[in-house]
């Protein structure tokens, strides 16, 4: 018997993969300075996270 993915399982997997890809792309584009601002300034971290997520909500 083959295991078949349900629609919601596929949906969740696809969105998780997209989210991980977006985070990786963001880290690559911003580079080490993203990590530096993240650890030194929590507000900057929240702002960068919001700026990464903003296109998703639009």
Residues 1-58 pLDDT 10s: 677 879 989 999 999 999 999 988 887 777 666 556 555 555 665 666 666 666 666 5
- The residues spanned by each domain of the chain are 7-56
Task: Give pLDDT, residue 11.
Answer: 94
Structure tokens at 26: 């963001």
Task: Give pLDDT, residue 53.
Answer: 66
Task: Give pLDDT, residue 35.
Answer: 59
Model-level pTM?
Answer: 0.42
| Rg (alpha carbons) of the chain, rounded to whole number | 16
Q: Please give the C-alpha separations between residue 52 and each of 10, 14, 15, in angstroms, as whole numbers.
A: 24, 18, 15
Give residue 50's region: left, alpha or beta (phi > 0; psi -120 to 50).
Answer: alpha
């Amino acid at each position: 018997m083959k295991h078949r993915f349900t629609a919601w399982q596929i949906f969740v997997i696809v969105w998780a993969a997209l989210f991980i890809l977006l985070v990786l792309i963001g880290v690559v584009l911003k580079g080490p300075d993203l990590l530096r601002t993240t650890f030194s300034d929590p507000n900057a971290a929240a702002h960068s996270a919001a700026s990464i997520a903003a296109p998703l909500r639009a």
